[in-house]
Every structure is written in structure tokens, then in C-alpha cells.
Chain A
Amino acid sequence: MNRFVHAGPRRLNLRFQFVKAMMTLGVALLLLRCFVLQVVEGDRFRKQALRQHEGMVTIYPPRATLTDREGNPLAFSLETQSAFVHPREVQNPQKLAKDLSSFLSVDYRAILKKLNSDKPFVWLERRLPEPIAEQIQIRNLPAVGFVREHRRYYPKRDLAGHLLGFAGIDSQGLEGIELRYDEWIRGEPQQMAVERDALGRRLELRPVSLEPTQLPKEIRLTINQSIQYIAEVELEKAVKSTDAKGGVVIAMDPWSGEILAMAVQPSFNPNIFWEYRPEQWRNRAVADAYEPGSTFKVFLVAAALEAGVVQPEGTLFCENGKYRVGGRTIHDVHPHGWLTVPEVLKLSSNICVTKISQMLGRNLWHQSIRRFGFGGLTGIDLPFEASGIVRPVEQWHAIDEATTAFGQGVSTSPIQLVRAMAAIANGGNLMRPYVVREIRDHEGKLLVENEPQVSGKAISDHTAAEMRKMLQEVVVSGGTGVAARIEGYAVAGKTGTAQKVDPKTKRYSQEDYVSSFIGFLPAEDPRIVLLVLVDEPHGVHYGGTVAAPVFKRIAEQAIVHLNLPPVQDFLHSPSSLVTVTGPEAVSKPDPEEGGLEGVPNLAGMSLREVLNRFQGTGLQVRSKGNGFVVGQDPPPGSLLEGLKEIRVELATQMQTQ
């Protein structure tokens, strides 16, 4: 007979219940204990844990290499050694401090202070040059250790400093591309900690987080190192010779939006960025907005042509130098009588553009300003972009209609100005400017590729073509920009001389000007848009005298690097470039002479050339890829009639050869 079942189940059940109760009580007590540890006394333990984690350090892998568009290095990371100490293990701080003081840049007292810290880990000096680190290492000093860190190095010093920016000691991008592309440039940080081995108390710095990918990526910029250098040298010369406050030069490919050069004066050397005042780090080409002055007249005339309120051959009376608008008198530098529209630009008459603006009307003019991208961000891949100020049209007074016509009462960043001018150069497309072409990993695998992006249509092809013609007049004899003229090349451009607003009186200063010249060349097939802006030159301050010669000097040298043949040859045989590369080039009649009968063979052409080819034909060009044409639809020789769009496929390597 079993007692468990038959004799006393009630009593036994009691014993069961007792065990159950005890177990439940146990779990309940544990829960209570956890509550005390985590919530009631949590803060105390948390603080203690934090203290312990002072022994944790983050080590960063080398940052990506930055190169110009041809692969010349502009920034890379050098290996260095960082020295640390475990103060709790130091037996004789005085002696150790003395030993160390002969190698480190910190003095004895500062080292001693570090050695007497009660933290488990203290940096002695970070980023020591290899030879010095080696000298310390061979002495095998107690409690001193080394860890590999990297130092950012800009081999070309000031070159493109504003564009590149710089990174801080913990590999954090602080300015420029270093900041904007920080997530690509910096690698996965690695956590290291002062570790205690299982038995003793020996402390070591050991990795605790996952091994980062140690090999740096490569970021290729759109910058052409040579043009950048030329721009910086010429700008610096101009700023020095005019005793100006500073200056900006931007060079852009009008077809793609690629920035070829971006120079800012005064420059700074990113290797020692901390020795400059922070405002000197600012990339004024992007982050500052100026009143553009007369260069803005270009966009007014374009808007007026587009709206049809003036014709290229139309004439206007320029009131012999004085014109009253809204209670104010507008002056011209030189009085003019009747002028054609191209002459208005050529001679930069404030009065006539005021009249054009009045004809256009403030609504259309405001719309056009916005369509050229003013008052909005260009979307350039650089930090701290300024949008400039274009007040809503409802807030305009009668006088604003006049002053905005010659670039007062609006402010634009230099990059906005360049982009707007590029739209005139390329047939009306507002391109997104960019400075990074592509990002590759350490094996050369393409990770990111920036491609040309059209962000809007500012004006029609037709208007753009008219403007290109007119702007060439500016640099011919008698024009304000004649100093920008280059022998053998058709230059289109416009001068600008803007009075600055005195921050004290809030009125236009009679002394401080921004002198500028913006233009492109070759005028009929532009390859480069170039802005030269000199801030507060002393002495002569006209854009035509201060900025136009700088434009000329930079452009002349850039021509060589861009392989631009003199413009006459180019105009007479626009297809000469492609007949060489295209395998079976059919005859390509000049669109201006005959019109297109069949679809030409586009093989080997750049997108720019293709766009140029069909410019003014009403044909839409759709492209895929980058580089040169490797495929097209419809094929060469197809009938052009009734065709609405042509599609081309581009690749960087020519497949045909």
C-alpha cells in the first residue's frame, strides 16, 4: 500500500504546497533584490560603472584619401603612435615623468599631473611621430603603452583648403568635404579598453569592439588640381595687389555641374587649421551671400527676352545718366542715350535695365529670379550653404523693381551665381553643382557616383543662345569687360561692381565694393563657367578693372588644362572632335546651316557634345551613364522627322577601340 497516495494525500499535499510556497517566495525575493539593484540603488552603480569606463577609448581607422579628379592626392591619413599611461600602475611618478619629459611636447609638471591621476587610463600624448614613439618604446617604460592612431595630412597645404575642410582629433569631420562626407571618410571606430587579465591585475589596452575595416576608401573630387592651383595663385595675387579683404573664384563645368576649382582668399592651411580664426575656415564661395551688383543684369535681360518684352535688336533710351524711380534717382556711371539691348549689357546701364525691369513687371521678374535658382539652395555637396535673400514679391517696393535689376536688394551666394550663369551657357538647364565625383572602397569598387542632375529649367534654349551672343559683346572693345578678352577664344561674360552695405550706417558704402566678373568660354560651346569675385578692393574697384583681368589670366591657363582649341577652329568644324573617335561617322551637317536630315552617329561623343548637337532642334536628349556615348536609340541614319527624343548610353571606357 502506498501512503503517498492512499494514506495521507492531504498531509503530503501540504508538504508539496510548502515547497511550492518557498520556491515562489524565493523568486519574489530575487525580483525585489533586482528592483533594489537596478532602480533604487541604480544611480550609485551607474556612476561607478561610468568611472570604470573611463578606461575605454575609441580608436579610429585612417580616414579616406581625397584626390582631385585625376587621382592626385589632396588629403590622406598618416600612421602615428599615441602614448598612454595606466596611472594606477605607476610606482615612481617623478622618475617616469622625468624620463618622459625629454620626449614629449608636454612639460614635466603636466606629465606628473597625468601620472598622478586616479583614472585607469590617461593619454600622455596623441599622434606622436614614429621616431619619437620608437625612442620611448625601446626604453620599455613601466605602465606606458602605445596605440596606433592616424593623423590627417594635406600634402598641398593651402590648396583647396576651404573645399577639403579638416577633421578633428577624434576623426570627426569639422569643415568642408571632410564634414559633408564624414560618414564615408571615417571608418568604423574601434573600442579599446583597459583590460585586466583573468589572474593578475595587469592592465592592457585591448580591442573590445569589432575589428573595423582598416583600409581607407578613396574619394575622388571633381576638382582639377591644376586649375585649382591657377585659380588660387591668381586670386591671391589680385587680392594682394588691390589690398582687398578677400575673394572667391569658382570654376564649373556648365554641362554637368562639376566644380573644377573653388578658391577662397584668404586661404588657410588645413594641416594647422587651429592656428586660424574660425571665420577664415568659412567657405565663402558657398556659405556667404553678397549683393551681386551688375552681374545680375544678365538674368534680368534673359528673363525679359524669355518673356518677349524686349527683342535683341530693340533699343531703349537711357535717359542720359539720370532716371527717377519711386522717389529715388538712378545713376549710370557714364551717361548714355539710345542703346540696343546688347549694348545695355555691354555698357552695363543701370537706367536701361531698370526700364527693362519695369517692362517685365515685378511678378515675372521675381519668378525668373527664382527660376534661376536664387533665394534657394543649389544642393551642392558642401556644408553650410547660404541660400541668399530674395524677398517675396509682395514685400517689394517700386524701387526694388529697379534696384534688383542691377543686383541691389537681393543677395546671392557665389555658387548660385555660377549655377545661374551655367544655365545660360548650357541652354537653360539649372544644374546641381557638386564637388565629389565618386567614392571607391580600398579595392577600387565603386560605392557612390555623383551624376549630373538637372534641378530645373531657367530659360529656353533659344533665349540662352541669344544671351550667349549678347554676353560676348561685353568683352569686345568698348565693353565693360574688355579686360577679360582672350585672343582666339570667344568669351562671354559680365562685370559687376556692387556697393556693400556699411554695417554701421546700414546704407550703401561709398568705399567698400565687391568687384566681380562672371563668364564662360568658349562662348558657343562653353566648357567652363568662371566667377571671379574680389571683396573690398582698394583703389580702383570696378569689376571690369579688378576682376576681369583675373578671369582672363585664370581662363587662359585653364584652357591648356581643358585642351580647348582656339574657338574659331572649333566653330568651323564642330564635329571634328567626334569624327576621329566615331567608327563610322556619317556626315553630320551643321544644324545652323542645313538642319538635320538623319540621326547622326553619336558614338564617342560626350554628353555635352550630344546636348550641344541637338540644341535648338526641340529634340529631348535622355542619357544614361557617364563618359562617352556607346549606344544610341534611334540608331544612326534614322529619320529625324517626327522624332521627339533621342536616348544615349554612356560609358567611361570606349568600347569601340
Chain B
Amino acid sequence: MGQQNFQKDRLLLISVLGLVLMGVLMVYSTTSVMALREHHDQTYFLKRHAIFAFLGILVLGVTSRIDYKIWQKFSYPLLGLSLLLMLLVFIPGLGRSSGGAQRWLQIAGFSFQPAELAKITLVIYLADSLSRKGEKVKQFLYGVVPHLVVTGALVGVLLLQPDFGTAVVLLMVMGILLFAAGVRLKHLLLLVLPVIPAFYFLLWSVPYRRARWTTFLDPWSDPQGSGFQIIQSYLAFGQGGLFGQGLGNGHQKLFYLPEAHTDFIFSVIAEELGFVGVVLMLGLLFCFLWRGFLVASTRGSVFGRLLGFGLVCSIGIQAVLNIAVVVGVLPTKGLPLPFVSYGGSALLANLFAVGILRSISSRD
């Protein structure tokens, strides 16, 4: 433990700010045409995204100065609040649906996605609970059941919205935290076994999920229909080549790529900045994960270490899943790329998480 570890981690901050900056650039490049067409203002999305980036960085700064232990005290109220907000989404007038999903709360002209908050509060709850259980985590009843119930409740609400992508992230974060906290492997296996048929059921029960699977396995089986998205993403990657078409010069984003500014922003990066840009992005992401894990494994109390570990994992998993979808390794499931994709709630929540990480790294 060198002296430098007592200082807030500069590299962590740089990599996050790098990702946010890339996000602002790419959101502008991706949305300018669409924004002009729909809102008569090229910078419509840019402005909104930039405002949230700015707010998020403020949140990061403030949070990093707050002792992270405070979150432990509020872990249950925060959890309750998240669940409540997620349920409010279903109340007409408060909730807003888009693209067949009821995921947003409409507040003062801005949409807020409670699931983003839920990701963090779940991690706080799990870190708090697991750190207090101590030896008892080895017992199924203490180590697994309560965490499974709480996570299950959140996942259940998410599936109703439906927001399958976030649900998967929550389940995986739970699994990883249980694993890291020392839950017995056989207990974890017990958990995974029923999950497999459940996943299978969930993936096939709704036609659009099934379509995602079949087209994932062979996108060219239906190039105009459900294979369309992933093929267009491939084409964007192909167009990009080594050095890309140049910032703003991408063709695919114009309308061939669906959700180019959110779920598929990585394709736009690949097309416009090429493999070089991809390496830069993945490099920044790797840097964030590496420094994040370092914080989680060397600093803070047990709670702090589990909290940091959980936050890094939740962001990391989401990033890996998002990119895996974009490059056709996983079926599409509608997850934005952390720090980069357009979307205020996600940006605020993720920068909030980074603030907690920095708070952990600066305290014992």
C-alpha cells in the first residue's frame, strides 16, 4: 500500500472522463441529423447530453467528498425508494412508455429511468448486508435467501416493464457479489441451476425475445426483419475498417442503425473512428475496470470493498454486455453503453457510482 493509494485515483477519473467525452462527441455526431429533422436544432440531443454530463460530473465531485459509509446507513431506505420509483413507472401520467416498454418517469420535461438508480441501491444493499453477515454467509438461509428475495423483487418489476437487459445485469451483479463475499460454491450452483430453465423460458416465451435468439444465431435468416439491427451493426464495423470514416462521416447511423445514439453507439464509434477508435474505447474501459478493482481490493472497510467491487462489476458487466450485443456475440437486449450512450439517468447514476468509488479510495 504505497502513498499514492491514499490519494484519490487520478487514472480512474481520467478514464471515466475520457469515456464521457467520447460519449458527448459521438452523441452529437450520431444525432445531429435526426435532431435537425425532428427538433429543427442540430444540437438538441447534444445539449441535453452535455447538460447531464456536466451535472453528472458535479454529482461525482460531491459524492467523492462524502464518506461512503453514509450509504450503508441509508441502504434500506434507498432500496425502498428505488422499488417505489420503479413501480410508479406503471402509473399513467407519471410513467412514459417508449418502444413498447414502460421504463421512464416523466419529471419536468425530462425522463428519468428508475432502474438506473436501482442498480446502485441494490449494490449498496448487498454490500451492506453481506458485510454484516460475516461468517453466516456460508449458511444458505443467511447468505443467499434474503439477497435472492430482494434482487428477485427488483428483477420481477424490471421484467414487467419490461427491461430484460437491466434484469440480467442485476442478477449477474448479485451472483458476483455473493461469490466474492464467500458464499459456498454449491449454494451458488443451486442458484444457477433453476436460473437456467428460467432464462430459457424467458428467452422463448415472448416472440420478440425468441426472434432475437434466432436472428442472433443466424442474422441473415431474416435480413430485413429481426436480423436487420445486427447486420447493420456489422456493416458499420466493416465500413469503419482500421481508421474509420472520420468523425461525423458515418452512413449507418443515419437510419440503418436503430438506436444509434443509445444501444448501438459503439457501432457508430466503430464506423467513424475505426478499429483505432474501438481500441481507444476498450482501453479506457479496461483502465476504468483495472483501477476500479484496485480500489475494491485494497481500500476501505469490508463494506467499502464489497461496495466498490459491486459498483465496478455492475458498470463493467453492462459495458461488456452492450458491446457483446453490438458485435453480435449476444442477442440484442437493449442496454446502453455506460458513460457513452445518450441518456441522462444512466449518465448521472454511473457518475454517482464513480463518486462513491473515489470516496472509497480516499478513506480507510
Residue ranges of A at the interface with B (Cβ–Cβ < 8 Å): 1-5, 7-8, 11-13, 15-16, 19-20, 23-24, 26-27, 29-31, 33-35, 37-39, 41-46, 48-49, 52-53, 56, 191, 193, 195-196, 198, 201, 206-211
- A-contacting residues, B285-322, CB 8 Å: 285-286, 289-290, 293, 296-297, 302, 305-306, 309, 313, 316-317, 320
| CB nearest neighbor in B for A211 | B36
Contact check, A38 vs B237: say whether CB atoms are below 8 A apart: yes
Q: Mark B211-253, 1 if CB is under 8 A from A, else 0.
A: 0000000000000100010010011111111100000000110
Query: Cα distance A35–B329 when bound, in Å?
Result: 13
Q: Mark B176-194, 1 if CB is under 8 A from A, else 0.
A: 1001111000000000000
B249 CB to nearest chain A CB (Å): 11
Contact check, A23 vs B275: say whether CB atoms are below 8 A apart: no
Contact check, A39 vs B297: say whether CB atoms are below 8 A apart: no
Residue ranges of B at the interface with A (Cβ–Cβ < 8 Å): 32-33, 36-37, 42, 131, 134-135, 137-138, 176, 179-182, 224, 228, 231, 234-242, 251-252, 254-256, 258, 270, 274-275, 278-279, 282, 285-286, 289-290, 293, 296-297, 302, 305-306, 309, 313, 316-317, 320, 323-324, 327-329
Partner of A27, one of B179, B252, B285: B285
| CB nearest neighbor in A for B223 | A48
The secondary-structure label for the interface of chain B is helix
Contact check, B238 vs A201: say whether CB atoms are below 8 A apart: no
Contact check, A2 vs B131: say whether CB atoms are below 8 A apart: yes
Q: Which residues of A contact B327 (CB under 8 A)?
A: 30, 33-34, 37
Query: Cα distance A521–B135 when bound, in Å?
Result: 113
Contact check, A193 vs B255: say whether CB atoms are below 8 A apart: yes
16 pairs, A vs B, C-beta closer than 8 Å:
A4-B181, A13-B297, A26-B320, A26-B324, A30-B320, A37-B234, A38-B274, A42-B242, A45-B238, A46-B235, A49-B252, A195-B255, A196-B228, A206-B255, A208-B254, A210-B32
A410 CB to nearest chain B CB (Å): 50
Q: Which residues of A contact B237 (CB under 8 A)?
A: 34, 37-38, 42, 45
The secondary-structure label for the interface of chain A is helix
Partner of A3, one of B42, B137, B323: B137
Query: Cα distance A239–B313 when bound, in Å?
Result: 88
Contact check, B182 vs A49: say whether CB atoms are below 8 A apart: no
Query: Cα distance A201–B256 when bound, in Å?
Result: 12
Query: Cα distance A8–B137 when bound, in Å?
Result: 13
Query: Cα distance A39–B176 when bound, in Å?
Result: 34
Q: Which residues of B contact A20 (CB under 8 A)?
A: 289, 293
Partner of B180, one of A15, A37, A46, A193: A15
Q: Which residues of B contact A8 (CB under 8 A)?
A: 182
Contact check, A16 vs B297: say whether CB atoms are below 8 A apart: yes
| CB nearest neighbor in B for A31 | B282
Query: Cα distance A27–B266 when bound, in Å?
Result: 14
Q: Which residues of A contact B176 (CB under 8 A)?
A: 19
Q: Which residues of A contact B302 (CB under 8 A)?
A: 2, 4-5
8 smallest beta-carbon distances between A and B, as pairs: A45-B238, A37-B237, A49-B235, A208-B254, A26-B320, A46-B238, A38-B275, A33-B327
| CB nearest neighbor in A for B320 | A26
Q: Which residues of A contact B320 (CB under 8 A)?
A: 23, 26-27, 30
Contact check, B286 vs A27: say whether CB atoms are below 8 A apart: yes
Query: Cα distance A31–B329 when bound, in Å?
Result: 12
Q: Which residues of B contact A39 (CB under 8 A)?
A: 241-242, 275
Q: Which residues of A contact B328 (CB under 8 A)?
A: 33, 37
Query: Cα distance A8–B285 when bound, in Å?
Result: 30
